[in-house]
Structure 1
Amino acid sequence: MMCAVPVIRSAEYVTSAVAPQGYPQEGLPEVAFAGRSNVGKSSLINILLGRKKLVRTSATPGRTQTLNFFRINDAFVFVDLPGYGYAKVPPEIRKQWGPMVEQYLTTRRELAGLVHIMDLRHPPTADDLQLWNWLQSHGLHAVPVLTKADKVPRSKRLPHAQAASRLLGVAVTDIVLFSATTREGVEALWARLLPWIQQPA
């Protein structure tokens, strides 16, 4: 299905927060992005917005340790959540992440949905499945995205996606294959996001 990618007129960093008192209070619809450390989350957000460095990418997994809010077109907000599952992050910080993210996901009224980013090259990890199942149990809107698609031979993409769909308990057509390198999946992902962020007139 083809989708008109929205024109991004403005995209700006708003704030970083670790608790509700630090969240923006503008009332705009929010889309959160979650994934394992180093899965390509920052690159995906930048590609969606047509920006090179709005969200900082790092070769060091686990660098994002706060909820980072970005206002887009003065109409909606993207929220970059801390990556999970990286063993070298100090344990005391990892322990803080779960409650911080859970509090945001369960209490934020502006949250319209979440993009759950995983790696097409590998089956969803135990951490991936734990988050996905938690999202489903709480009735949160979420779209599974398998990134780094350009690194998987075309003959293996469908089998990899089918394996992920079985583990996640969704139809393979519900999964978006994405590549920050080739821009594959940009329109398909926007098609899933637009209903979340378009406010009624």
Structure 2
Amino acid sequence: MTITSAEFVLGVSSLAIGKDGVTAQLPNQTLPEVIFLGRSNVGKSSLLNRVCGKKDLSQTSSSPSKHREVHYYLINRQMYFVDLPGYGYAKVPEQVRASWSSLIEAYLELHRNVVLAVQIVDARQVPTELDLMITGWLEYYHVPYIVVMTKADKIARSKLAMYVDQTRAAFARFRYIRELIPFSSVTGQGRQELLDAIARHVLGSPSTSK
């Protein structure tokens, strides 16, 4: 898969359900959606920028609490990349953190045309219970998913396999995890593997979680 165009469409801060079953704020429902989710400060914006080949498509910030919306990006005029708010940032009020979690779960429940979830974790850290809770939601709502390990460039090449095994073991309780991709927004490692995985799902390959 090659990305030839990527543009920000809109940000949505709530998912109020209307008479037609969805909020009028949401964009064209006929296009497939790939959702990206992960803990705050895990490198989600940098990953999106690298994958799409546009440096400032998704704004990075040293303050993870600034991303409080669902962001839609139109890719190749064929699909949406949907950036969900980062979860688990400790330096915001509990009420705000709860609202982010509610927004994420509401989106999964709404489901729309989600063909794949890309769950992002830090390659250097063991996935947290919050990460695993999100994975549980993905399986509960029957959303196909892959796990991407960002910041892989910060790990010595000789030790990367050990960290991959560590992350895979943390997700061992889940039935449908199939792909785990080390990724670096700095070097581009894993970019093509991620694009290929997205293409398989967007082009209609059978889901392992259905």
Alignment TM-score, normalising by the size of structure 2? 0.87
State the aligned residue count: 195
What whole-Å deviation, never above 9, does each CA across 1:74-117 have from its counterpart, x for those lacking one? Answer: 11100010001111122222121122111111213211111000
Whether contact under 8 Å (1:124, 1:167) holds in the other structure is yes
Displacement of 1:133: 2.1
Whether contact under 8 Å (1:44, 1:180) holds in the other structure is yes
Displacement of 1:173: 7.1
Displacement of 1:72: 1.1
Identity of aligned residues (%): 37
Q: Please, which runs of 5 or more residues in structure 1 have no aligned partner?
A: none
Whether contact under 8 Å (1:116, 1:142) holds in the other structure is yes
Whether contact under 8 Å (2:181, 2:190) holds in the other structure is yes
Alignment partner, residue 195 of structure 1 = 200
Alignment partner, residue 33 of structure 1 = 36
Of 60, 78, 88, 1:85 maps to: 88
Alignment partner, residue 106 of structure 1 = 109
Question: Which amino acid is the alignment partner of residue 150 of structure 2?
Answer: T
Is the alpha carbon distance of 1:172 and 1:142 closer, same or farther for their aligned partners in structure 2, counting shifts above 3 Å? closer
Question: Which amino acid is the alignment partner of residue 153 of structure 2?
Answer: D
Secondary structure at the residue paired with 1:62? Answer: helix
Superposition map of 1:136-151 within 5 A = 136-151=139-154
Alignment TM-score, normalising by the size of structure 1? 0.91
Question: Which amino acid is the alignment partner of residue 143 of structure 1?
Answer: I
Higher relative contact order (CA 8 A, sep 6+): 1
Question: Which amino acid is the alignment partner of residue 9 of structure 1?
Answer: T
- Whole-Å separation in 1 of the counterparts to 2:89 and 2:76: 33
Displacement of 1:174: 2.1
Whether contact under 8 Å (2:119, 2:148) holds in the other structure is yes
Superposition map of 1:37-76 within 5 A = 37-76=40-79
Is the alpha carbon distance of 1:136 and 1:188 closer, same or farther for their aligned partners in structure 2, counting shifts above 3 Å? same
Displacement of 1:199: 6.3
Root-mean-square deviation (Å): 1.9
